[in-house]
Structure 1
Amino acid sequence: MTVAAGTKRSTVWSQPAFRLLLGAEAVTLSGSAVSSVALPALAVLELHASTTDIAVLAFLGQLPNAVALWAGALSDRHPKRPQLIASDLAAAVALVTIPAAALAGLLAVGQLCGVAVVLGAAKVVHDAAAVSLLPALVDPDQLHDANSRLGAASSAADSTGTNAGAALVGAVGPACSVLADALSFLASAVLVWRMRVPEAATVPRTRMSLARDIADGVRYVARQPTIRTLIAALSILSFGLAVMNTYWAYYLLERLGASPSAFGVIMGVGGVGGLVGALFAPRIAGRIGIGPTIIGGFAVCPLMQVPLLCAEPGLGWQIVLAGTLAGQLFGATASGTSQRSLRQAVCEPAFQARAQSASTTLTAGARPLAAATAGGLVLLLDVRATFAAGALLQAGAAILLLASPIRTLQTIPAHGAMPPAPRGAPS
């Protein structure tokens, strides 16, 4: 994607394939945000799931992340559009079974567990393909803007979807509400199908074994200092957040007495904060530097958890929690779009999907262990103490970045401007 001399420079929005990807991501994230309200309400309020059931659901939903390296290796071998379409269709089919079982009077927590596994697996395949496809759709200097728009779409989808989810749960019940998510996956599949991007597999035709491809990807990430540090910090932050998120919905709905509508509003207000953070990420990075933007976002997360540790039932605390969630997601999305752009810029094209899958494995793949840890801590202590442990872990991620050279990084370097990873094997 080059611009001839004397012609007007293209923008990220002028790329048709990017617009379709953005639309697909926005619509499916909106649907998933509906499910983020409907599924907890279904488990807690209608199926009367216990704290152990909640932990098992969280564990199984994150379990497919453990095979993210496999998904990344396949994504680097094969065209990514078919993978995006297949994952969307699989998720849609799984979600449709929930209202069908509810209408038949057969819905149980066990089925929710099965759906959680399918949704988790579909997300792993989808993310590996989508994140690694983006650098092929836009120019290198447009990556931060492209990620900013994707982050803004994600936040807007969260805000719109959670509010819509709260309204749908109240109108038709949580089981039928998940149909909106199923339809969103179908719409995403259609948009990706319309995308026309010439793709070539990045692994040579004389392919090595899949295990060798995976091992090469792991070695590449381990030896690339910028990518390695960012993924390590992300894994610590993600573990701490996952410990807290295991009981986030349960805590608000059961312990703080929030209604499903109030829960959806809190999540929606948080999404607004994420939207603003994503939109302003390039401007913030341009003013204070890419490194400080990333570190600042990591530092905001644990600070915004303090009100949650003090919260009591009542509208006043619900307003406070909505505000702190907005602040947390503002920092998280500003930081997230910035660190993702940095990783994509310094990563070699042949390793894009495997680098993303390594991040998924260490960040999301550890969430089943985080859910199990949360379950154990709740049995030994209580929910508030579990939240405190999660917040302390999140602070560790910011400390790690502060001790790294990333803190002095002002701009996203061009590929090759930073020390490359030693090559352990041909790609």
Structure 2
Amino acid sequence: MTTAARAPRTTARASRPFRYLLGSEAASLSGSAVSTIALPTLAVLELHASTTQVAVLAFLGQLPSTIALWAGAVSDRHAQRPQLIASDLAAAAALVTIPAAALTGVLTIGHLYAVTIVLGTAKTVHDAAAISLLPALVESHQLQNANSRLGAASSVADSAGSNAGAALVGAFGPARSVLADAASFIISALLLWRIRIPERAAGRPTEQRGLARDIIDGVRYVLGQPTIRTVIAALSALSFGLAVMNTYWAYYLLTALGTSPTALGVIMGVGGAGSLAGALLAPRLAARIGLGATIITGFAVSPLAQVPLLLAAPGPGWQITLATALAVQLFWATASGTSQRSLRQALCDPRFQGRMQAASTTVTAGARPLAAATAGILVLLLDVRTTLTVGAVLQIVPVALLLASPVRTLRSMPLPPATVDVPPAREGGTRARP
């Protein structure tokens, strides 16, 4: 595969619009990390949710990923900035209802279900629009640097948000703590409002076409790209295994291992530090050991990092071990994620960026509701620990997929592709134009 020539030394941070996007992502992600602590604590410790209700909550959180293809088609067709702002404001409005309901004594697990669906829908729309917008904010040679900075911001936000979430839950209770997340979405929307880019970069359609046809063309494009297709398949397999575990991860720590909400936040915060290091070092790792090796190592470390959880017992010693394992896992996961995301963006025709990401979200995040349902069934037939073991074993599958793919021999970032036409979804239609 042909590789790119040496890139100019300018970084993505030189772009003011990118700095606003970076700040927006950092704000919303830090708030969401607070909710990652507050919502499970609220469900398990205050609403006394059963294992079935915990599985339903996880299932509903991933269900909105089923509209990813629609969101991707819309993001390629219309200006992305209004979509990002609207999704942030919708998420903020939904979160505010939680402390309001708790204050009046009417908060139920059903209310959490509804808020979870709104948050998942907003995230799906946001992610599709953001990945479409990014290539319009930076030069092509800055994509890996931009994704590295976004990954670093995400890691800092997760770490800071998790620790803040633990402190807020302890000081104010889980219901009122989600107000911090609502505020973060409002800040994010304000930063996005300040982005100014030429209208030509907004992804307007060149002809009147139905969204269904746009979606079909996007899926056909992705299926015709071997490397993109293989990476997305591996992501989907990894996502399924992780989602089986994540359905009961917090529940297992809070109950079977006796971890306090504060300790849970600390464990996640340490993991966030590992993720930050992985994001910052991703370009150096890819340059030293190769882009393909960085991607595959990130997938391979994931099942190995689950072993301490399966062996853990209550006590601070095991909590330190779990925090360390999570940090190692997230270091490589973020380095790998930053690299594979940049690879997919570099290989993808600009007209299909949103739909490419939507296809990835559909099969990746779309596997999670099925995984949550599978976890719910497994825990009824077996137990929580055995269900976690099944999830860990499933994470071996994507490693095999990548080792048998062209990713294994990829040393550096490939050149952007030439723009090509994709056959229309229906005979007699007008071909897509560059």
Distance 1:337 1:422 in 2: 28
Q: Which residue of 2 aligns with 1:423?
A: 422
Distance 2:383 2:423 in 1: 47
Q: Which residue of 2 aligns with 1:76?
A: 76
Q: Which residue of 2 aligns with 1:310?
A: 311
Q: 2:73, 2:211 within 8 Å by CA — same for their partners in 1?
A: yes
Q: Which residue of 1 aligns with 2:27?
A: 27
Q: Which residue of 2 aligns with 1:175?
A: 175
**Which is further off, 320-329 or 388-397?**
388-397
Q: Which residue of 2 aligns with 1:42?
A: 42
Matched, 1:250 2:251: yes
Taking the TM superposition and a 5 Å limit, the aligned residue runs for 1:375-386 are 375-386=376-387
Deviation digits for residues 334-378 of structure 1 (CA, Å, limit 9, x no counterpart): 000000000000000000000000000000011110000000011
One-letter code aligned to 1:252:
L
Q: 2:17, 2:137 within 8 Å by CA — same for their partners in 1?
A: yes
Taking the TM superposition and a 5 Å limit, the aligned residue runs for 1:93-108 are 93-108=93-108
Distance 2:182 2:130 in 1: 19
Distance 1:345 1:24 in 2: 23
Tell me the TM-score normalised to structure 1 length.
0.96
Tell me the TM-score normalised to structure 2 length.
0.95
Deviation digits for residues 124-147 of structure 1 (CA, Å, limit 9, x no counterpart): 000000011111111111111110
Distance 2:93 2:233 in 1: 35
One-letter code aligned to 2:311:
C
Q: CA deviation at 1:203?
A: 5.6
One-letter code aligned to 2:391:
G
Q: CA deviation at 1:202?
A: 3.8
Distance 2:271 2:68 in 1: 28
Q: 1:35, 1:181 within 8 Å by CA — same for their partners in 2?
A: yes
Q: Which residue of 1 aligns with 2:428?
A: none
Deviation digits for residues 276-297 of structure 1 (CA, Å, limit 9, x no counterpart): 0000000000001100000000
Distance 2:271 2:417 in 1: 37
Q: Percent identity?
A: 71
Q: Which runs of no fewer than 5 residues in structure 1 stay unpaired?
A: 1-7
One-letter code aligned to 2:415:
A
Distance 1:286 1:56 in 2: 43
Q: 2:347, 2:414 within 8 Å by CA — same for their partners in 1?
A: yes
Taking the TM superposition and a 5 Å limit, the aligned residue runs for 1:176-325 are 176-200=176-200, 202=203, 204-325=205-326
Instruction: Report how many residues are paired.
Output: 418
Q: 1:220, 1:422 within 8 Å by CA — same for their partners in 2?
A: no
Q: 1:285, 1:293 within 8 Å by CA — same for their partners in 2?
A: yes
Matched, 1:126 2:126: yes
SS in 2 for 1:247: helix
Q: 2:11, 2:145 within 8 Å by CA — same for their partners in 1?
A: no
Deviation digits for residues 164-197 of structure 1 (CA, Å, limit 9, x no counterpart): 0000000000000000000000000000000111
* Structure 2 CA distance for partners of 1:421 and 1:363, relative to 1, 3 Å: farther
Q: 2:159, 2:273 within 8 Å by CA — same for their partners in 1?
A: yes
Deviation digits for residues 15-40 of structure 1 (CA, Å, limit 9, x no counterpart): 00000000000010000000000001
Q: 2:149, 2:279 within 8 Å by CA — same for their partners in 1?
A: yes
Distance 1:423 1:95 in 2: 41
SS in 2 for 1:339: helix
Q: Which residue of 2 aligns with 1:5?
A: none
Q: 1:148, 1:337 within 8 Å by CA — same for their partners in 2?
A: yes
One-letter code aligned to 2:180:
A
Q: 1:47, 1:109 within 8 Å by CA — same for their partners in 2?
A: yes
Q: CA deviation at 1:392?
A: 1.4
Distance 1:18 1:357 in 2: 21
Structure 1 runs of 4+ off > 2 angstroms?
8-11, 199-206, 420-427
Q: Which residue of 2 aligns with 1:3?
A: none
One-letter code aligned to 1:185:
F
Distance 2:246 2:27 in 1: 23
Q: Which runs of no fewer than 5 residues in structure 2 stay unpaired?
A: 1-7, 425-430
Distance 1:362 1:231 in 2: 8
Matched, 1:66 2:57: no
SS in 1 for 2:258: coil
Distance 1:223 1:401 in 2: 17
Distance 1:318 1:11 in 2: 39
Distance 2:190 2:421 in 1: 41
Q: 2:71, 2:128 within 8 Å by CA — same for their partners in 1?
A: yes
Q: Which residue of 2 aligns with 1:113?
A: 113
SS in 2 for 1:424: coil
One-letter code aligned to 2:328:
G
Q: 1:220, 1:421 within 8 Å by CA — same for their partners in 2?
A: no
Distance 2:12 2:116 in 1: 34
Matched, 1:54 2:84: no
Q: 1:223, 1:421 within 8 Å by CA — same for their partners in 2?
A: no
CA RMSD of aligned residues (A): 1.2
